[in-house]
Amino acid sequence: MVRLFSMIGSRLVIAVPYLWLLVFFLVPFFIVFKISLSQTTIAMPPYLPVFGLEEGISGFIRNLRDLSFENYLWLFQDALYVNAYLSSLVIAAVSTLLTLLVGYPIAYGMARAPATLRPLLLMLIILPFWTSFLIRVYAWIGILKPEGLLNQFLFALGVIDEPLIILNTTSAVYIGIVYSYLPFMVLPLYAALEKMDYSLIEAAQDLGCPPLAAFWKITFPLSAPGVIAGCMLVFIPAVGEFVIPDLLGGSRTLMIGKTLWDEFFFNRDWPVSSAVAVVLLLILVVPIAYFQRAQARAREQES
């Protein structure tokens, strides 16, 4: 009897979260794909019926004939979408690199801090991550505006004569991404750097290796797992980012998350926005799979 209960128990522990994620995470992707093959129409929901058995076999066949990859062709013919994908990838890559440049010295400083100080520093890095993303992006509007705090400050210092135009440019998007995703970069870097044996550096320096060379030959390679994890954690979500380009990038910044949003909420074209989502997912599958494999390998090494 007890055994029966425990068997049911272990089944439930697996089955409940599994089923939930299947229904609310995996199945919706197939629906997105299905609707991406349909055509937009003025109705609710605003797309032509897709394959389904509601109208019997003949209806099923009729609908099947209406399906097409037209939306996908449309995506590749219209320069808007192609440019949006490309510029998302470029913006995400550049911001990832910038985040690495900003995050690495911070993570390094934390890892070399006195051990008693480290928990506090760690907490200070994590704390902004807990506060609202939307609010933190919003805070930059007041700073970057032409009459904003940054320009006021630079005026007061006498560095500039006329305001810097940063808000509603790509630069503002870079700043926004670096700022919002910095903890995601610092945490894995710190985890890698903290484990490092720093007597290796001392040994290298004793043997006459200059500090910078010691860094490139020892520290950086040893922190590679942290670099990879951090870059992936920034790059993948940044490609599909919506809030940052929308609030800081202005109308001229082209990013695919924003395109998808506009297509859905303003043009009400559900089939095309579904096609946009499917292609975005296909682009991101490669880095996501790579990231998961790297993570799995790191976990195995630990245990």
Partner 1 sequence: MAGTWGRFNVVALALGFAFLYLPIVLLVIYSFNESRLVTVWAGFSTKWYVAMLNNRGLMDAAWVTARVAFLSATIATVFGTMAAVALTRYTRFRGRLLFSGIVFAPLVMPEVITGLSLLLLFVAINFDRGFATVTIAHITFSMCFVAVVVQSRLITFDKSLEEAALDLGATPVKAFFQVTLPVILPAVIAGWMLAFTLSLDDLVIASFTSGPGATTLPMKIYSQVRLGVTPEINAVSTVLIGVVTVGVIVASLVNKRQEVLRQREAEIG
Please give the residues from 177 up to 206 whose contact with partner 1 meets the rule CB under 8 A: 179, 182, 186, 198
**Residue from 149, 165, 213, 224 that binds partner 1 (CB under 8 A)?**
149
For the CB of residue 201, give the shortest distance to partner 1 in the complex, in Å. Answer: 9
**Residue from 27, 101, 159, 224 that binds partner 1 (CB under 8 A)?**
27
Only segment of 56-64, 93-101, 109-117, 216-224 that touches partner 1 (CB under 8 A) = 109-117
**Residue from 18, 69, 220, 290 that binds partner 1 (CB under 8 A)?**
18
Length of the chain: 303
Only segment of 11-19, 56-64, 77-85, 93-101 that touches partner 1 (CB under 8 A) = 11-19
Q: Does 249 bind partner 1 (CB under 8 A)?
A: no
**Residue from 24, 207, 210, 286 that binds partner 1 (CB under 8 A)?**
24
CA dihedral angle for residue 165, residue 166, residue 170, residue 173, rounded to 10 degrees: -160
43-82 residues in contact with partner 1 (CB under 8 A) are: 45
Considering only CA atoms, which of 139, 219, 229, 225 is closest in space to residue 184?
229
Task: Compute how many other C-beta atoms are within 10 angstroms of the C-beta atom of residue 133.
Answer: 13
CA distances from 276 to 68, 75, 79, 147, 269 (A): 15, 7, 13, 37, 11
273-292 residues in contact with partner 1 (CB under 8 A) are: 273-274, 277, 280-281, 284, 288, 291-292
The CA distance from 263 to 274, in Å, is 9
Residue 169 tokens read as 């440019």
- 47 phi, psi to nearest 5 deg: -150, 155
Considering only CA atoms, which of 249, 231, 129, 236 is closest in space to residue 188?
231
CA atoms within 13 A on the CB side of 265: 6
**Residue from 54, 161, 206, 302 that binds partner 1 (CB under 8 A)?**
302
**Residue from 102, 196, 200, 298 that binds partner 1 (CB under 8 A)?**
102
**Residue from 43, 53, 115, 282 that binds partner 1 (CB under 8 A)?**
115
Measured from the CB atom, is 69 or 138 closer to partner 1?
138
Amino acid at 97: L
Q: Does 91 bind partner 1 (CB under 8 A)?
A: no
**Residue from 68, 77, 83, 131 that binds partner 1 (CB under 8 A)?**
131
Measured from the CB atom, is 61 or 126 closer to partner 1?
126
CA distances from 299 to 14, 122, 171, 193, 222 (A): 21, 21, 37, 17, 16
For the CB of residue 23, give the shortest distance to partner 1 in the complex, in Å. Answer: 8
Cα angle value 172/178/183 (rounded, 5°): 150
For the CB of residue 72, give the shortest distance to partner 1 in the complex, in Å. Answer: 16
* Close Cβ partners of 224 (under 8 Å, ≥ 6 residues apart): 192
Q: Does 89 bind partner 1 (CB under 8 A)?
A: no
